[in-house]
Structure 1
Amino acid sequence: MLLKDALALFRSAGLDGAEVIYQDDYPAAIAPSDPNSPRNAARAAADAGVPIIGLTPYTTAINSLDEAQWHGAVDEFRKCITAAHTVGARKVRVYAGSWHPGDAEHDARWGRLVDALGALATDAADAGVVLCVENHFGTMTQSAADTARLVEAVDSPAVRVLYDQANLTFTHDENWREAFAVQGHLIGHAHVKDLVFKDPDAPFRATDTARVKAEERAVRSRVVGDGVVPWVQILPELVRRGYDDVLTLEYEYRWHPQDLPEPAIGFRDGAAAIRRILANPAQAS
């Protein structure tokens, strides 16, 4: 599926916008290696009537201790910020470097991460873009507490938290009340997805950053509203705290197609569930 086809699918499913992958070798994406790709994406979005609200790069070396790798990753992020400006996107997802249990030199890598985001914050502010650091395994901000600590260390309105309660749930980090307590005042974007546990007592493990391998998974993906994440409580609380911006319906069919219905169905049903919750916040009580 090409990007234009994905945008048409989003429109037919009743979505209001798109968060688009920024990665080479994936057809429904903006390609970093192709200088024409952002302009082509902007035209495709205009033709589909589906604005691109955010970009999702997969860069992880912004905490590297290798100078060449670090500078290369920062430069790739700068290109992504420029691409976001070209397509009219206001948000760029950030992986907070690469970090897995057993990795060494945490403090040094954390310092490189803060330096990278501090430098990129200026570019983002100039482009009208917010860098949104995700609660994400395989990075230095798996937990809500660490995500908040990083954003506060960078200390720029152009760097905020990307709240992902499903990630926090399957990694056995903060529940939604705990997550709001430590990072609720810093949220600049949110991903909404759902899951059920195969084994809720299994310890979390993941050797990759972008996805959990099939043999490591203790959960199954579900359409929003069909899983264990309490969005009926979370979304009204997000609004109560002043969040009045887009939500990305994150549909992991790319990684786990065996768990989910076809995207045309899953996007439609997930979006309908989110709209029902937002239209009836009293049900959260």
Structure 2
Amino acid sequence: MATTEVKPSADRKSKRKPSLGPKKDLKKKKIKKSKAPAFDETIERNDQKSENDGDEQPASASEQLSYFLNQLESAISVRVSTLELDPIKDKCIVELSQSLERDVSNLGEHIKMSCGSSWRETLCEGETIEGKVEPGSPSVLVISSSALRSLELLRGLQSLTKQCPAVKLFSKHLKVEEQVSLLKKRVNIGSGTPSRIKKLIDIEALGLSRLDMIVLDLHTDVKGFSLFTLPQVRDEFWDLYKNCFHRRVLDGSLRICLYGPKAPAPKLKKTKKQR
């Protein structure tokens, strides 16, 4: 008896072929999707690149100013217009020497270099001069997040404070009355925390007539907080800045020094559309 060869029917072939199509399409879609990173991932990579670039090349005065103004706007919703910014540009930012590390031990040298050849006249006059040099009016204010850090920074200023009278401007173990008494003498440098500095200014014990520079300590503590990020201290600093320093920065009579291991660079912001 002859055997007959059974061939697959046309219907079976037609059922098998369509099943391959969707799988290939799905595979293509997956590959395409994997090539396009999410927006958040792109932002994160750009931020990391910015930070890495900052390690290799310190931020310029323009970048530091942008960073500071971003922090200002974020904290107290004060926006500096282009018209206000034009007269000062980057002149309000102190550009520190790249040959010295930005640690505690070199703070005195950095301040000395930022004052130029006239640093002795600016920082080290020992006596008050009526009508010219008032008591309790420092040339430099160093502002940090804690009393302990303020003391550390004063130790870094020893190369200057042997000749330049300095005062502690924080509340820990120091009464306001004691500080008022100290500020009746000639003071060239003050180091302290925002809340006590603001209080001494409010009671007119601490004067600002000779103030040329505020040094903002960007050091982070063991928990990763700094002057700009420690919640209560952050609010106290921006209150102090807005009420006592901002107008003087804009009119060009006060400079800002951002002091830390590395100068910060502005990070990429998300716009409303991108969100």
Higher RCO (C-alpha 8 Å, min separation 6): 2
Normalising by structure 1, what TM-score?
A: 0.32
Normalising by structure 2, what TM-score?
A: 0.32
Pick the structure with greater CA Rg.
2
**Higher strand residue share:** 1
